[in-house]
Amino acid sequence: MAHRVTFIPGDGTGPEIAEATKRVLDASGAEFDWDVQEAGVDILEEAGTPLPDSVLESLRSTGCGIKGPITTPVGHGFRSVNVALRKMLDLYACVRPCKSYEGVRSLYDDIDVVFIRENTEDLYAGVEFEKDTPETAALIEKIVELDPDARKDIKEHAGISIKPISVPGTERIVQFAFDYARQYGRKKVTAVHKANIMKYTDGLYLQVASEVAERNPDIEFEERIVDNMCMQLIQKPELYDVIVLPNLYGDILSDLGAGLVGGLGVAPGANIGDGAALFEPTHGSAPKYTGQNKVNPMAMMLSGVMMLQHLEEWDAAKRMEGAIADVIREGKSVTYDMKPNRDDPTAVGTSEVADALIEKMRVAA
């Protein structure tokens, strides 16, 4: 039976890598009934919004989607299609695997870590107050009242952000991490925090994470302070397995993890909630390369592998990831950024990477 899946090409170079990914998914052995939906700057003038209601309706109906990257305007306009999708569909878990593939230039060759980032709370909730407004002035007065040692000049020209961390939000993301570890045969969950300084927000996160760990005794649990975690990931990343983090730390450390395995070109991602899951590459839309058949589609293709696993198409997922690993290892049918010399004339285009993967799967069948 075909899986009904929402397909969002995106904008910039998104449509090119999305189409290449769709062709590979169609050749993986799984069957799909694609519901194509447009979102992003390319649809803005026609629809009056970069996120038409039809996109949300489709994702609520199918419960599963895959999307190309979408441009976020800098400094003005719609805040972010990606953030809006996560909030409106309550996609509270961002899952970003960082895995070494032979043939990718990297300082390490044995990394297999999954970052699970809480998607809805923390400083990224966007509860901010602009400087020099009455609301901000009232908040600053309260800060000074609560903390007599606060710098008195905080009263002048300060912006304020509020960091909400809740018990329910923490419970569900940490439980998600344990469930993920169990489903994928992983042995350990590490909770990351700064509870030594932020005792009532990160302190709550650590307390709740520890309580959830007690309910999941079959999986090892440990905690790390975020700055120490950064050092540990550089010095001995092999010690870590599943890492669960609040929103801001998760955003930063998952990019650090991508750097450990060769960059965002091999960094897939997913945003998952109780009612829907949306798979996408971690990188942006690179609009300056639009239409050049040049950009690396591997991150979106690896996101496609994650989608196959989510749909329990295990054989298709194994087949597709195996073909990706083979093509990367051989180093022939890869884009310029995956060549030892980025000016290598033997580099292929986005579409040709898909052709190579499809042929690999055909031969292996």
Tokens 């609520």 correspond to what residue? 60
CB 251 within 8 A of CB 282: no
CB 107 within 8 A of CB 260: yes
Ranges of beta strands (E only) in the chain are 3-8, 32-36, 64-67, 93-99, 112-118, 128-129, 160-161, 188-193, 220-225, 242-245, 268-272, 277-281
Question: Catalytic: which of 22, 67, 101, 124?
Answer: 124
As beta bridge partners, residue 269 has: 280
Whether residue 194 lies in the annotated active site:
yes
Question: What are the φ/ψ torsions at residue 205 (nearest 5 degrees)?
Answer: -55, -45
CB 133 within 8 A of CB 105: no
Question: Catalytic: which of 227, 274, 315, 344?
Answer: 227
Whether residue 124 lies in the annotated active site:
yes
Whether residue 251 lies in the annotated active site:
yes
Residue by residue, DSSP assigns 151-206 as -GGGGSS--EE-----HHHHHHHHHHHHHHHHHTT--EEEEEE-TTT-TTTHHHHH
Question: What are the φ/ψ torsions at residue 178 (nearest 5 degrees)?
Answer: -65, -40
Question: Catalytic: which of 194, 205, 240, 360?
Answer: 194
Question: Catalytic: which of 35, 42, 122, 251?
Answer: 251
Catalogue the active-site residues: 124, 194, 227, 251
